[in-house]
Amino acid sequence: MTGGEETKKKPVAGGGARGGRKGKGKGFKGKGGPKKPFVKKNVVITTGPNGEQIEKRQRGLRKKKTKSATAAAAAAAQKPKEKVIKNWEKVEIDTNSFNHFAASGLVGLEVIDAGSYNTYESGGGKGKRKSVVAEVVEETTSDTESEKKSSSSSKKNNKQGIVLHEREKEEKEGAIVDAKHKNKKAKKGNQQQQQQQEDNKNRNSEEFKQKKKDFEEFRKEQRVAREQKKKEFQLQDRIAPEAADTLDMTVWESYNLDPLIIKGLRALGYERPTEIQSQVIPASIQSGNDIIGAAETGSGKTLAFGIPMVNTILKYLRAQGEDVTRSTLPQVGLLKKDNSHKKLLALVLCPTRELAIQVTNHLRTVALETSLRIISVVGGLSQKKQDRELNSKPEIVVATPGRLWELIDEGDKYLGDFTNLLCFGIDEADRMVEKGVFREIDSILERLPQYQLHYKKGQNDEEQEEVEQDEDEDQEEQEDAEEEEQQEEDGEEEEEEQVDEDQEEEEEMEDIKDIEDIEDIEDIQGMEELEEIDGDDEEIIDFQEGEIDPDDFQAEEVGFEKFTSVKRQTFIFSATIVGVHDEQQKDAKKKKKYANKELTPLQTLISKINFHRKYKLIDCTLKKLTAHSLKESKILCNLDEKDQYLYYFIDRYPGKTLVFVNSVDCIRRLLAILKLLKVVAFPLHAQMEQRQRLRNLDHFKREKNVILIATDVAARGLDIPGVEHVVHYQMPRTIELYVHRSGRTARSNREGISVLFVDPSEQKTYAAFTDKLEHEILDFPIDFKFMPAVRERIGMAYDIDKQSFEKKKVSDEKNWYLRNAKAIDMQLDDVFYQSDSEDEKDKQYREKSRLNQLKMTLDAVLAQPLMPSGVSRRYGAGIEEWTNKKNARATLDLEKSKSKKKCDGFWEF
């Protein structure tokens, strides 16, 4: 088709289709039409009385002068023409018709290209020709009426495909439609006006006021009910009041904690602090120092920093004369209080949403008797709810860095104002500063206010000078020491034969204590000193007895920078922030790589966080790194045997099992297989919707015999009661991840087991792990008599999965073609639509029945207990003994299990 250009030069063709156009006209296609014609859907371009072009919506609702109107008007003035505007005409077109339109001055026809026209014809049109309605304008200078008529009639008989007919009928139809539309619009306008008048009237009426009041009451009730529900939920953690009354809380009381916190702890049944809590709480409350805390997984680190935080805030609020006891009034009442002056008092950062929500709930439980508002700021949840919660100006916010920074960046004033921040915490701190994980953390840390060095103006000037002087001296000493060290090293190199370098380094290493490692860190930052807590020689310099003077809580501007005199306390916690890294650092020293000064996570944090001049490192981690009550085991196997051992484990050792894998694809594959094997399993990974993630976690918490298959999104911090087993289906990428994953079980002194699956390709990593763990991971005892039955089931599940996958693939492919063909108006071969050939049908039928047969067989097999080979079901001999499922924790005697399985591709251990 070649008419495109002509039509464009003489901008006549516009859209005016009213007929049932099915395909999406995309302008001209075909051999000769490289340029698209001037096409506008539902718009008609006509020439006005003064020669200007008028763009008219199909239904004549809007008229607008086009840009070229003036130019056209000028041209019309030069060469006056007689214009005959014809009315709507119905035309039928085919692929060659456009030339004719253009040549005969036809405007307002929406172009139907060859493709869409044909599609229409073969797809749904059943041989009918395409009809459209077009407005026809003929420009004539001397045509007589009769000539016009003949021209019109010649069109009627035109062999090129344009047939004009039923002009009058169409004209009427068009007019009717327009009129109807106008009426409808007018009616709607009237109705809206009436409604508005009525609304205005009602708004002033008593009835309306009452209705509004009722509605507010209703909302209030709803909110109270929600609050109630929340409280009830929190009460779930509580023990019976009678039992709570008998608890001896003297240890807690000795820490000078707020009575409301002790009340909360009593209700929770926490009679005494855990090891890390007993070290952190007095140190932070009495000295006000910043704390870096490390302790094994599940040892109560959250409350180790949570209790001092809540305590500090309560003290601050009491000092401000606020009532901090839990109000018996509904929260709604509290919300109505003027809280515009309030500022954020505590902020905790966590790496995952689930963990942030968990920490929030944990803090709420100890603060239940108080009026404190604690909320989580995480992505993926209701924005409205989060806004509402933030409007209530919560004292404590627990957030993920990404979401928090997003809100600060958007200009959230409350979240972005750290000037009154009394407490700042980072949970799972080593993860938070891992390279490239949370870019936002740096921006957040940069916003933390700088300290003014004196808490009370003028009070500590001399002391400060002394401190600074000491600092300079220390630095000089340090520089000298470094110089000496360097000289020594140079000497060593020169006298290689005289000194056994390795020997010397070993000796050197023995002398190096953890604290010296940290001193190096301080050098990087220019920090004064680090205290390691050892009870007696705790030094309290700038904050006596943890007292908080309300006068101190003011920000003031010094020079160009904003300083604050608020003493912010910082808490940095993780199970793996020290220990492993210290070892790594020592290794590095050994190998003389220390010159690279690659910072460990702990060093990175210290260099980024504006700590107090005194902070304490409290390290309660065990040498073994993992929790003391955890039994660790491994299964060495080939890659293709992992599914078998997983099924074996799940079947023989039922319970709450968390299976860790390294990829989402692996989760999907395992879920499909386990589903066929009738194992209840839920997924958890970062690609899931947040609500679904929380729902699955909830299922896993509530159900007894259940599997959660997760990526490392669940590796850190999650405190799910009653997790009995952790399976590392794939090797964790780092030793820290191994510690955290394993730590989802064996929490709070409870027992738990972890099983590490190792295939030959993972053996190198495994060897590196055992080096660092400094203990052997024993073999998991496997009763190999069960394995043939396990293999049979797994084999059938694979078969079914493969066939279902093939079937789905074929139908997915077909659907893909259909979808895409529709999207681009492509005509597919009829063959595509035709049902499959008889042979094909037959094949499909056979495959389907084979699949059903397989499923039925597997179901029948699964209905029986897993039996060891050689035991006959028929005679029932010893069945009970074999079918008794075991509890892994109770029966697993790893010490005795030396049942090493021979496995291809492994080195000798």
Ligand X SMILES: Nc1ncnc2c1ncn2[C@@H]1O[C@H](COP(=O)(O)OP(=O)(O)OP(=O)(O)O)[C@@H](O)[C@H]1O
CA–CA dist 785, 789 (Å, integer): 8
- Stretch binding ligand X (CB under 6 A), from 27-35, 273-281, 833-841, 898-906: 273-281
Q: Does 601 interact with ligand X (rule: CB under 6 A)?
A: no
* Nearer of residues 284 and 297 to ligand X, judged by Cβ: 297
Q: Which is nearer to ligand X, 106 or 367 (CB)?
A: 367
Site string for ligand X, 562-591 (x = CB under 6 A): -------------x----------------
- The stretch near ligand X (CB under 6 A) out of 105-113, 240-248, 299-307, 842-850 is 299-307
- The answer to whether residue 299 forms part of the interface with ligand X (CB under 6 A) is yes
Q: What number of chain residues touch ligand X (CB under 6 A)?
A: 18
486 φ/ψ sector (left φ>0, alpha ψ -120 to 50, else beta): alpha
| Angle at CA of residue 402, ends 399 and 405, nearest 5° | 85
Query: Could you tell me which of 386, 378, 430, 382 has the C-alpha nearest to residue 406?
Result: 378
Residues 737-796 that bind ligand X (CB under 6 A): 743, 747-748
Closest separation between CB of residue 295 and ligand X, Å?
6
Query: Least distance (Å) from ligand X to the CB of residue 744?
Result: 7
Around Cβ 673, how many Cβ atoms within 10 Å? 20
Nearer to ligand X, 288 or 306 (CB): 306
| 3-state secondary structure at position 523 | helix
Closest CB to ligand X among residues 304, 324: 304
Nearer to ligand X, 747 or 793 (CB): 747
Query: Considering beta carbons, is residue 276 or 727 the nearer one to ligand X?
Result: 276
Binding mask 215-254 for ligand X (x = CB under 6 A): ----------------------------------------
614: contact with ligand X by CB under 6 A: no
Q: Please choose, from the candidates 133, 139, 109, 85, the residue with its C-alpha nearest in 3D space to the C-alpha of residue 37.
A: 109
Instruction: Choose one: 96-104, 147-155, 195-203, 295-303; the region binding ligand X (CB under 6 A).
Output: 295-303
- Minimum CB–partner distance for residue 300 and ligand X (Å): 3
Is 55 within 8 Å of 45 (Cβ atoms)? yes
Give first-to-last CA distance, the chain, whole Å: 79
277 touches ligand X (CB under 6 A): yes
Q: Give the Å distances, CA to CA, from 308 to 89, 283, 363, 575, 796.
A: 84, 10, 11, 19, 57
Q: Which is nearer to ligand X, 264 or 743 (CB)?
A: 743
CB 187 within 8 A of CB 193: no
Q: Which of 190, 2, 19 is nearest to 88 (CA)?
A: 19
Counting contacts by CB under 6 A, is residue 725 touching ligand X?
A: no
Which of 1, 13, 303, 408 contacts ligand X by CB under 6 A? 303
Name residues whose C-beta falls within 8 Å of residue 902's C-beta, 6 or more positions apart in sequence: none
Selected from 4, 14, 273, 401, the binder of ligand X by CB under 6 A is 273
Nearer to ligand X, 491 or 721 (CB): 721
Rounded least distance, CB 859 to ligand X, Å: 39
Nearest distance, CB of residue 352 and ligand X, angstroms:
11
Minimum Å gap between C-beta 533 and ligand X is 17
Show Cβ contacts of residue 262 under 8 Å, excluding neighbours closer than 6 positions.
249, 252, 253
Written in H, E and C, the secondary structure of 614-631 is CEEEEECCCCCCCCCCEE
Residue 163 or 281: the one with the smaller Cβ distance to ligand X is 281
| Strand (E) or helix (H) holding 525 | helix 514-525
Pairing between β-strand 82-93 and β-strand 130-140 as defined by DSSP bridges: antiparallel
Mapped onto helix, strand or coil, the DSSP state of residue 274 is coil
Q: 679 to 718, contacts with ligand X by CB under 6 A?
A: 717
Q: Which is nearer to ligand X, 291 or 797 (CB)?
A: 291
Helix (H) and strand (E) counts in the chain:
34, 23
Q: Would you say 174 and 88 are in contact if contact means Cβ atoms under 8 Å apart?
A: yes
Report the residue from 290, 582, 719, 825 that binds ligand X according to the rule CB under 6 A.
Answer: 719
For position 301 contacting ligand X by CB under 6 A, the verdict is yes
Q: Give yes or no for residue 298 binding ligand X (CB under 6 A).
A: yes
Task: Kindly state whether residue 300 participates in binding ligand X, applying the rule CB under 6 A.
Answer: yes
Q: Which is nearer to ligand X, 274 or 603 (CB)?
A: 274
User: Quick one: 307 or 674, whose CB is closer to ligand X?
Assistant: 307
Q: Indicate which single residue of 302, 360, 633, 696 sits in contact with ligand X (rule: CB under 6 A).
A: 302
400 binding ligand X? (CB under 6 A): no
Give the phi and the psi of residue 619 in degrees, each rounded to 5.
-110, 105
DSSP letter string, 67-89: TTHHHHHHHHHHS--EEEEEEEE
Say how far apart CA 232 and CA 856 lie, in whole Å. Answer: 46
Q: Is 731 exposed, middle or buried (0-12, 13-18, 19+ CB in 10 A)?
A: buried
The stretch near ligand X (CB under 6 A) out of 294-302, 342-350, 432-440, 792-800 is 294-302
Q: Which of 574, 229, 595 is closest to 431 using CA atoms? A: 574
Question: Residues in the site for ligand X, rule: CB under 6 A?
Answer: 270, 273-274, 277, 295, 297-303, 575, 717, 719, 743, 747-748
